[in-house]
Amino acid sequence: MIVFERVEYKNILSTGKAGTTIDLRGGALSIIQGKNGSGKSTFMDAIHFALFGKPFRKIKIGQLANSLNKKNMMVNLSFSQSGHNYRVSRGIAPTIFEIYKNDELIPQPARSADYQQMMEDKILGFSSKTFGQVVVLGSSSYTPFMNLSTPDRRLVVEDLLDLRIFSAMNDNVKKRVSGKKDLMKDIQSQYNILDAEMEIREEHNAKISAMSDTSISEKNKELEMNQLVIDEINCKIVMAKSRVESLERIKSPVGEHRKRIAKIETYRINFHSKLSAISKEHKFYESHDDCPTCKQLISSDTKVSNVTHLNESRQRLERGITKTDVELADLNT
């Protein structure tokens, strides 16, 4: 709980350079009374300006300064909160904003707005809107709660019930979703580059169709290797999309969740199909010594090279299957 102890102000509104000091430590309750125009509302404006850097009544901040002096406006407000003593010094012409905790100046960030936000979040625990709803009520500037805008009403309720953590959590989720979307863009860019390389290699392969079987086989290996890389990137894209969508589950219907599972299962079936084709080709090299089409003998070097390439392709597909299994397990939990 905040306990206001002392307020000093000068050159604010009708108060001159001699200044006014009000000590609030005389008892549990302090009553300030006086005739109209004696400065009772100025007392509230001084406190509000010290805490939030703006007037309590509906005037421009420049109108707070004494109309004759127009400078050296200064407010010093002392209060205690959670066992600590604080003093806020704020002025206009020159601009001054300092917060002292137990007589030690709290370091100021580069932006004054950050300093103000720190005081509201870490020290006061409420905003100016909440202050005007539950602490100080004045006929000149009071707005009934239901007449406040929706964001202002939400801010007051969050202050009263200490619910700002949920707004912070929502902002954090939005940042994480944005990060995942950026990751998807990067992966999609890599995919587009590799896809363009595939097209170039396919065109080149058509031009060298007259080369020897060995040379064509080597080019086919490169194409297959690139295709496996593309398959892996496709898997990464699916997994990245799944991660982004998992952060938005509260917004996504159950049908969308099933579609994600079906899409990953399709990739998994595709990987298994390619793995089966590789196994058949591997068995062919184990059981044949010549080509059934051209009737030429398959050299042992060619066999070893092709079998090695098939084993590498098998390992890549198995890794892809493992990744899809992990992703399916995450989606099904």
Check: CB of residue 234 under 8 Å from CB of residue 267.
yes
Sequence-ordered alpha helix ranges (H) in the chain: 40-52, 112-118, 128-130, 150-161, 164-207, 213-247, 254-287, 300-332
State residue 249's pLDDT score: 65
Residue 295 · residue 304 · CB < 8 Å: no
- Residue 110: HSE in the Cβ half-sphere, 13 Å Cα cutoff: 0
Q: What is the model's pLDDT at position 88?
A: 96
pLDDT at residue number 166: 58
Question: Which residues, 6 or more positions from 46, have their beta carbon under 8 angstroms from its beta carbon?
Answer: 7, 9, 12, 75, 77
Write out pLDDT tens, residues 210-240: 565 666 777 788 888 888 888 888 888 888 8
pLDDT, position 160 = 52
Q: What is the mean pLDDT of each run of 10 residues along the chain (333 residues)?
A: 89 88 79 70 88 86 85 93 93 93 92 89 81 61 63 62 60 83 89 88 76 70 86 86 74 68 86 86 79 71 83 87 85 74
Cβ(38)–Cβ(160) below 8 Å: no
What confidence tens digit (pLDDT) does each residue in 2-26 have? 888 999 999 998 888 888 898 888 7
86 membership: H or E segment, kind and range = strand 84-92
pTM of the entire predicted model: 0.44
Give the right CATH number for 2-125 from 3.40.250.10, 1.20.1560.10, 3.40.50.300, 3.40.630.40: 3.40.50.300
User: What digits encode the pLDDT tens for the residues 146-159?
Assistant: 666 777 666 656 65
Q: Which two tokens stand for residue 135?
A: 């602490």
- Structure tokens, 244: 């982004």
In whole angstroms, give the CA distance from residue 96 to residue 10: 14
